[in-house]
Amino acid sequence: MKVLILTTVHRWNDPRVFHKQACTLARQHEVTLAAVDSGPERDVDGVHLKPLGIWKTRFDRPKLWWKAYITILKSKADIVHFHDPELALILLPYALVGNKKLVCDIHEHPTAAIGGRQWIPKIIRKATAFLFGKIITLAPNFFDEVILAEDSYIEHFSQRSNIHVIKNFAILPSPDLPYTERYDQFDPAESLRLIYIGSVVEERGALIMAEALLKLLQRFPGTSLDLIGKVRPPELEIKLKEIANRTGNKLRLHGYLDLIEAGEILQKAHIGLIPLQPHPNFEGSFATKFYDYMTYGLPIIATDFPIWKRFLAENSCGIAIDATEPDQLVSAITELAEQPDQLEAFSKSGYAAVREKYSWEDEGEKLLDLYSRL
């Protein structure tokens, strides 16, 4: 079958959209990916990439939506698999009269996800989130299949017969590589590498991590912090660069990196951080960063949301803290840094767990099975 995967939010090389789903489907189907990119049309790993352009301001978004809709109308695809809640509203008319099967892929909590969209004017954000949330919960009634990245928000849907949970588990670069000790020569005074992967924004703890770094350097001069992800807004980037200068560039802003590039930094890190701040979209959802860190054997320090705290305990791969203050993060990092045996135990346990229970391979088979029945 011919498949068109569509997103006006995510970059073409987004881990879930491209590396996991598009590349998996390309094993058995002819796949075109229309996504955010400014380059030429090209083939990458068996997937035909059709760039929609890029957005810089909120006013650019409607242009991409229009391009996406035209792409669908021109496409000869049998199935359109779209990833953004914004596109659900745009595709409702097509769902009623179009001849292509539509697969709606939902990554986040239906209402909270839109409520966190900074490009939506604040004065209408709450109402917009409510409206989109209601539309998304009706998605199973209009679209052929609905895919959820987590089962934590399936309760928001009354019609569930065509809902499928395909989790955002890890792509393992070396699935059969045995664990090797990484903390036997560890000395935090010489080198303590902290890492965070994801959107670099205040509500995800960007400033708290940066302020914690300043305090940690007083105790462990070899401490550094790698932030991998897009920084927004510009005012936050200015603040972080000022802190980077004060630390002698021990704070490193990498911007968005592809999986392979990020993996090279993850391999050298000592502790993975997930200090997200209290927010409905975070508290009821699961961060894929857990799997990313565990893939490389990184002990984790994360916010003590109930489902996160339970996950860390079940897999013995890290600790949960109140992440609303830098001092809490500093204390947790210090505690782990001074216990290399505990770091090693968390590292080994997480490394094993992600290979036993959280590998993308099984989820990829679920996706292929779903498509075989469409």
% of the chain with per-residue pLDDT over 70? 97
Burial class (CB in 10 A: 0-12, 13-18, 19+), 93: exposed
Average confidence (pLDDT) over 122-135 = 77
pLDDT at residue number 118: 64
318 and 367 part of one domain:
no
19 and 138 part of one domain:
yes
pLDDT at residue number 267: 95
117 pLDDT tier (thresholds 50, 70, 90): low
pLDDT at residue number 140: 92
| Domain CATH number, residue 285 | 3.40.50.2000
**Rounded CA separation 278/17 (Å):** 27
Asked whether residue 180 is assigned to any structural domain, the reply reads: no
364 and 291 part of one domain:
no
Asked whether residue 177 is assigned to any structural domain, the reply reads: no
- 316 DSSP 8-state letter: T
Q: What is the pLDDT of residues 258-272, one digit of tens each?
A: 988 999 999 999 999
Answer yes or no: is pLDDT of 242 > 70. yes
103 and 197 part of one domain:
no
% of the chain with per-residue pLDDT over 90? 79
**Rounded CA separation 52/303 (Å):** 36
**Rounded CA separation 166/60 (Å):** 31
294 SS3 class: helix
Q: Which two tokens stand for residue 299?
A: 């002990």
322 and 368 part of one domain:
no
Q: What is the pLDDT of residues 39-67, one digit of tens each?
A: 999 999 999 999 999 987 767 888 999 99
The CA-based angle 240-332-335, given to 5 degrees, is 125
Predicted TM-score (pTM) of the model is 0.93
Q: What is the pLDDT of residues 155-201, one digit of tens each?
A: 888 888 999 999 999 999 887 888 989 999 999 999 999 999 999 99
pLDDT at residue number 318: 99
235 and 365 part of one domain:
no
